[in-house]
Amino acid sequence: MGAKAKKALKKNMKKIAASAASSQLPPPQNPKPSADFLPLEGGPARKAPVTSQPLENKATVLYIGRIPHGFYETEIEAFFSQFGTVKRVRVARNKKTGKSKHFGFIQFEDPEVAEIAAGAMNDYLLMEHMLKVHVIAPEDLKPNLWKGFKCNFKPVDSVQIERRQHNKERTLEEHRKMLQKVVKRDQKRRKRIAAAGIEYECPELVGNTQPVPKRIKFSED
């Protein structure tokens, strides 16, 4: 055996002995877990909390904004029924006039259906209005959100109220006070006309000594 062959054999024997020694080493004591992140100001490494189960989606209520005129409770329920079962719908309205405030709420039975409907209808062009639809978390819902949603809204009839106010019976004292208000308004009007340099003869008003004229009553038809 030559000198080169002996050197090569010694190298191979050393490699085999080193690999055998490393395989027999005992495992390290108390291995440190790998850190998910390190704090900015130093300190021990921290592991991110492990969630056992994903958070369950329980949101079933959607907010609908920029509702166009004519798209009310009946139309909203019929339109959104294509996604799934609708439990209830409410459109925000003015308490006096009953007109829509152009936003409302809708509730589905299934949370997954609500999420799909929100993603499909957000920024949807309907009757020249770009709808804004998003899911409302259960903790953000107001307790009185659905209060009275089934009631048929009856706006205040201002004409009927004014008619009753005009036709009600008044005492002589009430007539006298009403006449005094009319005289004061007439005097202020005369002063404004005179200050403007306009020559105008205002008609005389009925005095307190004359009998009070009868008021014309309007029918309720």
Largest CA distance in the chain: 153
Contacts of 125 (CB under 8 A, 6+ apart): 131
Residue owning tokens 């409770």: 73
Closest CA to 124 of 53, 71, 166, 177: 71
Q: 145 pLDDT exceeds 70?
A: yes
Domain extents in the chain? 61-140, 169-195
Segment 33-43 mean pLDDT:
56
- Give 37's DSSP letter: B
Pick the more confident residue, 37 or 185: 185
| Mean pLDDT of the chain, nearest integer | 80
Say if CB 117 and CB 108 are below 8 A apart: yes
CATH number of 61-140: 3.30.70.330
Pick the more confident residue, 160 or 208: 160
Q: 210 pLDDT exceeds 90?
A: no
Closest CA to 152 of 107, 105, 76, 90: 90
Contacts 24+ apart (CB under 8 A), 191-196: none
Helix (H, G, I), strand (E, B) or coil at 193: helix
Q: What is the dihedral of CA 195, 197, 201, 205, to 10 degrees?
A: -10
* Range name among 16-20, 91-95, 155-159, 206-210 with the lowest pLDDT average: 206-210
Q: 219 pLDDT exceeds 50?
A: yes
pLDDT on residue 161: 84
Q: 83 pLDDT exceeds 60?
A: yes
pLDDT on residue 208: 47
pLDDT on residue 135: 96
